[in-house]
Chain A
Amino acid sequence: MAQNPKPRSIIESLGEEIVRIITPVSICMFSVVILVSILNNSESSSASITSVATIAYSEDSSDSFWDKFEGALLNSLVFVAVVTVVTFILVLLFYLRCTSFLKYYMGFSAFLVLGFMGGEIGLFLNQYFSVPVDCVTFLLVLFNFTVVGVLAVFMSKMAIFVTQGYLVVIGMLVAYWFTLLPEWTTWMLLVAMSLYDLAAVLLPGGPLRLLVELAMARDEDIPALVYEARPVLASDLSPRENVIPRRLWREPRSGDSTLNENMTTRSNVVPNVNAVSRLESSQTVGSIVNAEEGQGSRGISELTAPLIEHRINVQMHLAQQAVETENLVLEGIGLGSSGAIKLGLGDFIFYSVLVGRAAMYDFMTVYACYLAIIAGLGITLVLLAFYQKALPALPVSVLLGVLFYLLTRLLLEVFVVQCSVNLIMF
């Protein structure tokens, strides 16, 4: 409105990092919802998979309420127990400095997820849309896709957009497989994983806390698959440089525990970090971090750090039982060396599982759960900036999401349908 170019207002740049992390989370959730609504219509929902999460109890729709509840509870307890054990193994391996082993394992996991899971979903989509493609072409394209994906998460020299895209795809594929679990088991699993996350991060003996403390004591990065948002080049606002790295580490099991690692524990390296809040400019901190971490290569090595995970291998040969090992994606919210937010892939996966499950009921629950998860993510980030200590990222979002799912399904839907069908709106 002014004739002369007025200086940019603060609302044009405030909150940019948050939007840059919300966008890929939303894309991942959206893709899982689309996949679920396309693929679950065409096949029967009873084709559930046998996996670690269902060894205790196989859900049957004819069971009574309490049977299902107890069965689901049992399943989730088993799952959480397995995840705990695996995380402790992870801590042990990390302690013994087997980082290259972890690194290669992570690359191998990425290969399996993209190759096999991606391939199977590709086959389903081919079937559904009757795409005219022959086996050789399909195999070739899939193989190339997979190899580029492994390189993208492995190597740091890729364009950041490609890496981000592949991470979102990996999260999407793993999340889709999790939505194939029976319903009660999925919900109990989500709640159990959030509670486990809470415990593993906050309790003194928790495995994630140990892992983070080890990493900080050695000043190394935990090998993990993390999504790093494109760093905001703050020309006028340098708050981006504030590094309050929080890493939420998930356990190996579809992104369980998230651990917020407070950069303050790295205080021997970056002394000024503690006092800096997100919104304040701290050029000095930024420069210290950049100097210490190099030209972002550190951030890249964080990105390519091996992912410690259980792999979920689902063999879809109908003759055999599908055996699942979980793919653990370490997840975390943190700030990379360039100041951009990093979010672990396990967060992506669990959020998408929640929304995918909501999509199996109705899209109204999808919208409500989506809003709840984004709100939870925002709250977690605010809490992190406030408390400046390790906090788990999963509980707030997942518990809010489950709450909104129940409220919408039980209360809102009846109300809205009643009003809408009579064309009464306000």
Chain B
Amino acid sequence: MTVAAGIGYALIALGPALALFTALISTKPFLILTLVSSTLLWLITLIVLSALWRAFLPFQATQFGWSYFILILTCIVFQEAVRFLLWTAYRKLEHVLNDFADRVSKPRLYLTDKMQIALAGGLGHGLAHGVFFCLSLLTPAFGPATFYVQKCSQMPFFLVSAMIALAFVIIHTFSMVIAFKGFAEQNKVDQLFVPIVHLVAGMLTLVNLASGGCMIGIPMLYLVALATLIYCGKMVFRSLTEVQSSQGNSW
């Protein structure tokens, strides 16, 4: 894979994340710190999961389908539990920040601030996924050839993984916003939406195990990402118009 192609794949996976970063996060140092800590946290979850599963890897060919199913199930359950813990930590952080704002006579956290912090946290999750599942496999592969996977031979492996990574970046980023909003407002629908979407997305990648499965799996994954995006957009739009009309804080 040439360097140009490698950069292309990296940008496919992380381009929108980079755009989000430059537009929203790079001007606010606190969000940069949130992003970095969030990425670190999700890296730690990945390490813990890999520690749990290390003894069972690599899988033998006979156990393929079921083992991956259990793997994904446990990983997603664990990550959702961590997301809830992240929410409780964020709650405490919000109190600290509001106290600090009072002390230095600045306005308390606006609604948009809270959503931006959630967005930065979600972007950290997406970034951790994109970097470790896609980007870190690109660099050893620079050189004269490329790599195709047997089961998905239409495109080079790197392109497929970049596309999947892009979908997951979108899902993770906006799920965090939805989840935080759901936890704040005690809205059951929102709270359940995120784990279900994560689970569905994870299971959809199981389709890639079948030969030629990625032709179906990836478009459906993008449908899920689109659904997350639209749901988040509607939710945010609704709450912003509510605030504007009522001048109150809804969080």
Q: Which residues of A contact B (CB under 8 A)?
A: 1, 6-16, 18-19, 22, 37, 236-237, 239, 279-281, 362-364, 367-368, 371-372, 374-375, 378, 404, 407-408, 410-412, 414-426
Q: How many residues of B contact A (CB 8 A)?
A: 71
A398 and B202 CA atoms in complex are apart in Å by: 35
Q: Is B232 at the interface (CB under 8 A from chain A)? A: no
Q: Select one of A9, A13, A415, A422 contacting B208, CB under 8 A.
A: A422
A372 and B72 CA atoms in complex are apart in Å by: 26
* Chain B residues whose C-beta falls within 8 Å of the C-beta of A378 in the assembled complex: 33, 37
A157 and B116 CA atoms in complex are apart in Å by: 40
Q: Is B86 at the interface (CB under 8 A from chain A)? A: no
A419 and B53 CA atoms in complex are apart in Å by: 11
A416 and B76 CA atoms in complex are apart in Å by: 15
A6 and B110 CA atoms in complex are apart in Å by: 10
A224 and B161 CA atoms in complex are apart in Å by: 48
A425-B165 contact given A10-B106, A412-B132, CB 8 Å threshold: yes
* Chain B residues whose C-beta falls within 8 Å of the C-beta of A422 in the assembled complex: 68, 149, 151, 208-209
A286 and B40 CA atoms in complex are apart in Å by: 34
| Cross-chain contact B72 with A10 (CB below 8 angstroms) | no
| Cross-chain contact B50 with A7 (CB below 8 angstroms) | no
- The CB with the most chain B CB atoms within 10 A, among A19, A418, A424, A425, is that of A425
Across the interface, name the chain A residue whose C-beta is closest to B206.
A424
Name which of B95-103, B174-182, B185-193 contacts chain A: B95-103
Cβ of B151 to closest chain A Cβ, rounded Å: 7
A375-B137 contact given A11-B31, A415-B49, A423-B160, CB 8 Å threshold: no
Q: Is B85 at the interface (CB under 8 A from chain A)? A: no
| Cross-chain contact A414 with B131 (CB below 8 angstroms) | no
Cβ of B3 to closest chain A Cβ, rounded Å: 11
Cβ of B121 to closest chain A Cβ, rounded Å: 13
| Cross-chain contact A412 with B46 (CB below 8 angstroms) | yes
- Complex interface residues of chain B between 109 and 142 (CB less than 8 A to chain A): 109-110, 112-113, 116-117, 129, 131-137, 139-140
* Chain A residues whose C-beta falls within 8 Å of the C-beta of B134 in the assembled complex: 420
Across the interface, name the chain A residue whose C-beta is closest to B152.
A423
Name which of B14-22, B54-62, B222-230 contacts chain A: B54-62
Question: For chain A, what secondary structure do more than half of its interface residues adopt (helix, strand, loop), or is it mixed?
Answer: helix
- Complex interface residues of chain B between 48 and 101 (CB less than 8 A to chain A): 49-51, 53-54, 57-59, 68, 71-72, 75-76, 79, 97, 100-101
Q: Is B173 at the interface (CB under 8 A from chain A)? A: no
Cβ of A356 to closest chain B Cβ, rounded Å: 14
| Cross-chain contact B157 with A14 (CB below 8 angstroms) | no
| Cross-chain contact A414 with B54 (CB below 8 angstroms) | yes
| Cross-chain contact B214 with A423 (CB below 8 angstroms) | yes
Q: Select one of B53, B139, B244 contacting A362, CB under 8 A.
A: B139
| Cross-chain contact B140 with A10 (CB below 8 angstroms) | no
Minimum-distance CB pairs A-B, first 4: A415-B50, A364-B136, A423-B208, A426-B202
| Cross-chain contact A416 with B133 (CB below 8 angstroms) | yes
Q: Select one of A10, A18, A367, A419 contacting B100, CB under 8 A.
A: A10
* Chain A residues whose C-beta falls within 8 Å of the C-beta of B53 in the assembled complex: 415
- The CB with the most chain B CB atoms within 10 A, among A37, A378, A420, is that of A420
A12 and B151 CA atoms in complex are apart in Å by: 48
* Chain B residues whose C-beta falls within 8 Å of the C-beta of A408 in the assembled complex: 47
Q: Select one of B29, B164, B205 contacting A19, CB under 8 A.
A: B29
A404 and B29 CA atoms in complex are apart in Å by: 25
* Chain A residues whose C-beta falls within 8 Å of the C-beta of B149 in the assembled complex: 421-423
Q: Is B251 at the interface (CB under 8 A from chain A)? A: no
